[in-house]
Amino acid sequence: MNETTRKNLPDFQGLPNITFRQLEVFSVVCREASYANAALELRSTRANIKRVCEDFQKAVGRPLFEECADRRLQPTAFAQDLLTQVSPLARGLRRLGESVRNQHAGGRILRFAAAGEFFKGGLFTDFLARVRITDAFRPCFLRIETKRFRTALLNAECDVYFGVGISPSDRLDLINLGPVAWKIRCEGDPPARPADLPAGKWWIADAGETEATAALIEAFHAAGAEGGRIHTTDSGTSPAQDDIVFSHDTAAMAGSPAGDAWPRFHFFAVLRKHHPYSELMPRLGGAAIH
């Protein structure tokens, strides 16, 4: 494409009305030189294909086709330059569509999401090894940070979110998958029970939502501890070298050892209420450790 033509092309970032469907239809009409033939390939009607092209033409603000004497459609010079740009995208979208259709044909897609650190540790992968899913679903995995997991679930960006330190919600279902092991940073041997913690010298690292961490500190108080603070990365204050810091371990569940005195975070699977996959909650709950 020469420099003059490049300057004449519109700024597509400023054209929100352009859709992937328009790009696909435009590419096929250019190749077939006919609305009718394009309709046959795209399993649509001539009227629909023509309408899509006319909407696309309005969006770009330039003529796209000229009708020849034999009624074949000839792309304008602008359209030919435009086709050079959009053809790779249209082909990629076609392959993506075929892949999605194949996945739907082979089973329902189930989108699991978690914060980045969970994909690195054994907590999430051990759960996947226990849950019975692959006979009915085709799982895929998304990284979604804790601060926006509620929005992602309610907007159906994912089906299930896995995390620690999550508070209940009226619009979401929480499945308790079991207690999470502690990583304890301290000098010398760790205390044996909450009542042994030195007042004002221990912290709990925030695992997700601060409200859940605050509730856990209250559970420590109920078990005999005094003081205690929440440590967040943006709090501005950090534990002293000789302070005791509790942080959740993304590598392992804690199980339920007899006589365990420590309150713990729990690993949760979260999904929106009335999820269309009705059998999903029992399957997730069946892999819990209590």
Helix (H, G, I), strand (E, B) or coil at 245: strand
With a pLDDT cut of 70, the percent of the chain lying above it is 86
The predicted pLDDT at position 145 comes to 86
The predicted pLDDT at position 8 comes to 47
Model's pTM, two decimal places? 0.61
Which 3-state string (H, E, C) describes 139-198? EEEEECCHHHHHHHHHCCCCCEEEEECCCCCCCEEEEEEEEEEEEEECCCCCCCCHHHCC
The predicted pLDDT at position 3 comes to 40
Q: What is the largest CA-CA distance in the chain?
A: 93
Return d(Cα 97, Cα 42) in angstroms, integer: 13
The predicted pLDDT at position 157 comes to 87
Which 3-state string (H, E, C) describes 258-286? CCCCCCCCEEEEEEECCCCCCCHHHHHHH
The predicted pLDDT at position 103 comes to 58
List all residues 6 or more positions away from 91 whose beta carbon is below 8 Å from its beta carbon.
none
The predicted pLDDT at position 102 comes to 65
Q: Domain extents for the chain?
A: 3-106, 110-286
Q: What is the pLDDT along the chain (290 residues), one digit of tens a residue?
A: 444 444 444 444 444 457 778 888 898 999 999 999 999 888 888 988 999 999 899 988 899 999 998 889 999 999 999 888 877 776 776 777 676 666 555 567 889 999 877 776 678 888 888 888 877 788 888 989 888 899 899 888 899 999 998 988 899 999 999 899 899 999 888 899 999 999 989 999 998 888 999 999 999 999 999 999 999 877 678 899 999 999 988 877 776 554 578 999 999 999 999 888 888 999 999 888 76
List all residues 6 or more positions away from 276 whose beta carbon is below 8 Å from its beta carbon.
none
The predicted pLDDT at position 16 comes to 46
The predicted pLDDT at position 219 comes to 95
Written as six digits, the tokens of 273 are 């209420």
* 195 contacts 168 by C-beta, under 8 angstroms: no
**110-286: CATH architecture:** 3-Layer(aba) Sandwich (3.40)
Q: Over the stretch 156-196, which tens digit does the pLDDT of each residue have?
A: 889 999 999 898 889 999 999 989 989 999 988 889 999 99
- Answer yes or no: CATH 1.10.10.10 is held by domain 3-106: yes
Q: Which 8-state DSSP code applies to residue 3?
A: H
The predicted pLDDT at position 257 comes to 52
The predicted pLDDT at position 17 comes to 59
